[in-house]
Structures are given as structure tokens and as C-alpha cells.
Chains A and B, each alone.
Chain A
Amino acid sequence: MPNTIVKKKGLIPGRVSEMIISAPEIATKARPGNFVVLRLSPQGERIPLTIADTDPQAGTITIVYMVLGKTTAMLEKLVQGDDILDVCGPLGKPTRLDKVGTVICVGGGTGIAAMHHIAKGHHRVGNRVVAIIGARSKDLLLFEKELASFCDEVLVATDDGSYGHKGFVTEVLAKRLAQDAHVGEVVGVGPVPMMRAVAETTRPFKVRTIVSLNPIMVDGIGMCGACRVTVGGKTRFACVDGPEFDAHSVDFDELMRRLGSFREQEQASYNTYCECHG
């Protein structure tokens, strides 16, 4: 019951893992687009992670994380059967799932996992779902099989050309948009430069485009304003107004800058942890 890790699977050894966590209340309530906030130790920070999938019957949620700093490194040390100290959620506004015909879901890196839940939601409401996923190389590609189980098409791009299109997801996206005039919506989830590139790719096509933003958060419940982003010239809080916003109105430069606010401290904290824990 208390946030037990039911299953853990390394997706990219030592870097990206998937965890299935027992959290019945969250599993029942979570909708595509929602996230949770985790805390691992009494001294620990609160980190937001998008819910990649849920199983309400089993009472579990799935999260996927990349080891980037101290907290994710600590998460990587946990094994099946361990409990996570705090799991708070579901948080954020769920994805708006309208029936629009064809939806293209673009995912990059660990963002593919978060995009998976959104794509699933679009499939459930009867949209035709095209997934475009990308990574540096074939062995770094996530969730291809899972997406293939319900998506109408899964298109792949790798930087090194080891699999699928050689190049960026946005090149695949642009080609697809040029061929298909019936795309009702595009969703982009991944690193900020990728989401910005998705926004620029779809802009000339004037297609509704949604991105799921990942600013620094502390409480995740609309209390501190750490996660503020500028959208359409207005200050919005990603935790309660988002995390999804109209890609064409987001100030990506600002998001990128603000993500670096605590980089030195984060790096120092991570380095100390690595020195002490290998």
C-alpha cells in the first residue's frame, strides 16, 4: 500500500528506468497529462514526474525517469519491494481530449513515456493517432512497442540513422503535415529544444499544437510559483494551469533559462552523492 515499487525495469541501463508503483487512489484518479510529485527521503526534494501509464484495476501507476541528478540517482538505487516515501497526485490539468480526427504525438527521450499516456487518451476517444518518436540512436528509443499496440502509425527518427529516419522528429513531422491536411492536433513532449522545434514546425500549418512543459517545481500544487512560464505574454503556473500549453504561445527561451536557475547547486549535490555512493 504505501507507494511500494511493484516492478522496476531498466529501459536504458543505468540511465532510464520504468517503475510501476502501487498507488491505488492516484491510479483511479489519474488522467492523461497528469503528473505526480515524489520525495524519497526526509531530507529530500520534491520532484515532478509525468505519469506514463495507469492500471486502475491493479491500483498502479507507471513512471519513467532519467538519472539526471541526486534524486533520480537515489530513485535508481531503489528496487522492487521498496517503498517511496511520498507520492503526491495526480497533479496538473489533464490533457484536453477532443475528437479531432488525426492527432500526431511527437515524443523525444524520456518525453516519449509521458507522451505515451496522452497518445493512449487520444486513441481512447477515437482519434487516429500517429506517433513520431526520436532518440540519438536505436538503443535509446523508448516505448516503441507500447505505442505500436494502439497507435495507427509509429514513425521513428534517430540522429545517427541507426533506425528509421536519419535526423530529427520534426523533419518527419513536417513531411507528414505536408502530406496530410487532416491533422487536427499535434502534441509534443520531450526536451525543451525539441518542443520548441515542434512548435516552429507546426506554426505555418496553423494546426493546434500542445506541449507538456517541465519547469522547476517545488510544491506542485499551485503554492509557490516556481514553475511559472510565460504563455501568450501571461504568467501561468505549469502545476495548476498546465503542464500542457499552446505551443505557439510559449516563451521557450525563458523556460530554458529558468530551468538553469539552480544548476550549480544541483550539480554539486549530484557530484557529492556520486562520490559517496559510487
Chain B
Amino acid sequence: MAKKSKIRPRVDMPMQDPTVRCTNFREVALGYSREQAMLEASRCLQCKTPTCQSGCPVEVDCKGFIRAVARGDIETAYGIIKETNSLPAVCGRVCPQENQCEGHCKLAPTGKPIAIGRLERFVSDSYYAKNPCDAITGRDDCPMLREDLKVAAIGSGPSSLTVAGYLAARGIKVTVFEALHELGGVLTYGIPEFRLPKSIVHTEVEFLKKQGVEFLTNQVGGMTVTIDDLFAQGYKAVFIGVGAGLPKFLNIPGESLIGVYSANEFLTRVNLMKGYRFPEYDTPVPLGKHVAVFGGGNVAMDAARTALRLGAEKVSIVYRRTKNEMPARREELEHALEEGVCLECLAQPLAFEGDDAGNLTGIRLQRMELGEPDESGRCRPCCIEGETYVLPVDLAVLALGTGPNPVLLNATPELKQTKWGYIDGDDQTGETSIPMVFAGGDIVTGSATVVMAMGAGRRAAKVIARRLLGEE
């Protein structure tokens, strides 16, 4: 391996200035120019046995596409990425690359891995308008869709979109059933505009539509349409990608005070319903002067940064452990701090406090310290006896994770569940206790990442294609 000193640093990606961006919802990271992308790609060692690809849940041929970028052949690079990844413009933005492709890069130990995510983003952004069929098949015409082998996907988040892309490319007709009025699942209601512009999601969905994928909105899996209905309508396989959207609460006193919101509600009002443009859009959004966000994951970062953009004077992330144990991506945490989000670490909420009218006025917190590592390997947070204090806030957002949504599961009692209430799917195929019914994404694993859900969709789609087309 080359000596540390000889490796050029990663090419920085231009960003919106923190003092400006915290007042708008426009995208924070601005993306590479062609020159920057080629320069970054030229750092790639082109390893004989690349490890980056195996670090990617959807198996993008990173080495191949980076080689094409290095010589300025963006078109070829796009074709290579799109062969395995239905949502490259999304992945280039929201994947935890540092743990996946980039984490497995041979340069990772030097601290200067190839910026694979940024390159993926550059390539897909450059080829928005490209003919979708050409990208996958090298031909102008899409494969003829087999209506007789049609497949249903419930939910329109990353796992279902991946299933749709994979099968459509192989000529199988897919219909996606979405309960909300907009497509994209968590990409639309969960991830804010400043991290993933909705236009990117729309573009990826349009791409799938051009490939012949059918999308139906306002269709609630288990209510408007059941799994039995789908088989009765001639679908040969069903993929369940309904995510895990049921928000968790702390179950402490005062949680129903006005001013206490789940991150899902807060973000749905803003992202899906465009509440930040109220009254032009009809859905109001809670505005706080002093905001506390509970949790240390990416959703907590998104909620805190959103509150800041809505005009909060002070936004604090309250976390039981310290900054070092937060599960959020480092980049997201850094962006939040740059924008002025404060950290209230080693603090655990005990109770919400309110006024006589039922409005939130503060949160009583328990001061914590780190003890010995627990089973998760992280230091256990322990109470410092007697040390409690009140943080005055008028808005609290709980980003504590989510559980399985019960709607489809209640309607489908024969679907075997795990002891935590998620769908019990085969590790390798995603097939559930009902033959030809597959599941993937958060409804199987619990809250995870976009690309993990895509990986699950890809695994299931491979099996579905093999069974329906008789390929081995």
C-alpha cells in the first residue's frame, strides 16, 4: 500500500455556507463538478480484488464506475451503477458510505478513502435525463413487460422501488401500492429537502414509470387491498416493503402536552405536507423558540436542523450518552453542529413540564455519566443520583426510533412475526411464512438505512425473478 503521505486528500465537496443554509431548505451539499469528480476518481487504486463492492448492500461495481469517471466517461459509469442500483442519486446522498463502500475501501485505514458516494451522486445527477432502458439494457427499447407474471409491491419506499427496478429491467410488470398520496415512503416523508431534495425522488420514480412500473397511491396495504386480494387479482408474487413507521414514545409524565411531537409527525408535517410553506400549504407545523430533540440518530439530526430552519432560537439535541456514541452519521452530526445545533449530552428525560393550559414549558432531565460497556459494546449511561435539572423548551421532538406498523400485520394474521412484531422473513430470500410473499426493509429488520432496505429488496427480487422466469 502507498505510504500515507503520498495519498492525495479527498476532493472536498462544495457546501452551502452554514450561516446561510440554516435559514433555507435548499440542499446543503452542492455536488462535484466534472473536474472535481475526475480528480477524485483518479485517486482510486483500481485494486485487483476490490473490497468496496462487497461493502455495498446492492453490490454496485464501484471499481468499474470509478474507472469510467476517471477517464471522463460518465455515460458508461452511469450504466454500470444503474445495473445494480435503482436509486443512485438517492444513495449518493443518504447512504452511510463511511461504513459501506468507503468503509471497505483499501484506503480507508489511511483516513482518505475514495469518495465513492460523492462520485455516485455526481454520475447520477449528470444523467438524469438519460433513457432508462438504454442505461440498463444498452438498447433504446425496454424489455417487453410480462403482464402474466405481474408482481405487487406494498409500500413505495426504497426496498419496493428496488424490487420494481430489478424486475422491470427483466421484463416483469410491477405494481407499487402506496398508502400516502405521494410516492417514495421514508425518502419523501422522512428525509428533509436539505439532505435529499424531493425532485431527486421524483426523478427516480419517473425513471421507473418509464420502465413500465405502475404506481397506485392512496392504497393502504391490509385495508384498501389485502394480500389475498392481490393473489386473486393475478399477482404472482407480493413484496411487502411497508417500513417501520410507528413512532416510539418515552412513556414519561407530560408526554401529551401541546408542544411534544414525534419526529415522524414533525418531519411529515414539514417534508410530506410542506408545512414550512404554511399558509401557502394548508398543514401547520409547530414552531418553537427553544427546541429539544431526543435521540442521537440521523432522524434526530434531521429534526434538529429542520427546527433551526423553521426559525428556532436554540435547538438542543438531548442524548443519554456522549457525542461519540451517537449513532448518526458523523457528517450529519458535523453539519448540524456547523449550523448551530447544541448538544445536551449525558442527560435523560424524566418528565415534561407544562403550564395550566397544557403547553410544554420545559423538560426535567437526569444528569448521567458513562459506566462500563454493555452488551452493545457502548458504555452504559448511569444516573448521577440527585442531579436533575430543567431545560426550558417550548417544543420537544422525540426521535427515539420506530416500531412495526400494525395495519398490514393485523389484516394478515397468517404472516409470521418475530417476537418484536416485525415480519419473520428468510435471511437469504426474504420469503415470509406465506409462499411467494416476500418482505424486506425496516418491516423485517426494524429501523435501518435506505441502502439496507434496498439490499433486501434486491435479494427478494432476485429470487422472485428466478422463480417467475425459471432462471437458475
Contacts and interface: CB of A to CB of B under 8 A. Distances in A.
Contact of A29 (B224, B246, B281, B283): B224
B45 interface: no
Nearest to B265: A224
B282 interface: yes
Contact of B279 (A91, A224, A228, A272): A272
Task: Give the interface SS of chain B, mostly helix, strand, loop or mixed.
Answer: loop
B282 A86 contact: no
B220 interface: yes
Given A45-B273, A257-B358, A258-B258, A223 B224 contact: no
B59 to A, nearest CB: 31
Nearest to A218: B268
B155 to A, nearest CB: 11
B406 interface: yes
Interface in B272-314: 272-274, 278-284, 286
B268 A221 contact: no
A228 B225 CA distance: 25
Nearest to B287: A265
Contacts of A221: 179-180, 220, 245, 405, 407
Contacts of B357: 257
A240 B405 contact: yes
Interface in B220-268: 220, 223-225, 245-247, 249, 251, 255-256, 258, 261-262, 264-265, 268
Q: Give the size category of A's interface with B.
A: 35 or more
Nearest to B404: A222
Contacts of A266: 284
A190 interface: no
Nearest to A268: B279
Interface string A18-60: 0000000110010000000001010111100000000000000
B189 A223 contact: yes
A37 to B, nearest CB: 8
Contact of B405 (A25, A223, A258): A223
Contacts of A41: 282
B282 A71 contact: yes
A88 B220 contact: yes
B269 interface: yes
Contacts of B246: 222-223, 225, 237, 240
Contacts of A70: 282
A212 B283 CA distance: 24
B247 A43 contact: no
A59 B291 CA distance: 47
A229 to B, nearest CB: 8
Given A88-B220, A222-B246, 20 more contacts: A25-B224, A44-B282, A45-B281, A45-B283, A86-B217, A89-B220, A89-B223, A219-B180, A221-B180, A221-B245, A222-B406, A224-B262, A224-B269, A225-B264, A228-B256, A237-B246, A254-B358, A257-B358, A266-B284, A269-B279
Interface of A: 25-26, 29, 39, 41, 43-46, 70-71, 85-91, 218-219, 221-226, 228, 230, 235, 237, 240, 251, 254, 257-258, 260-262, 265-266, 268-269, 272
9 contacts: A25-B219, A25-B225, A29-B223, A41-B282, A71-B282, A88-B179, A91-B223, A218-B269, A224-B247
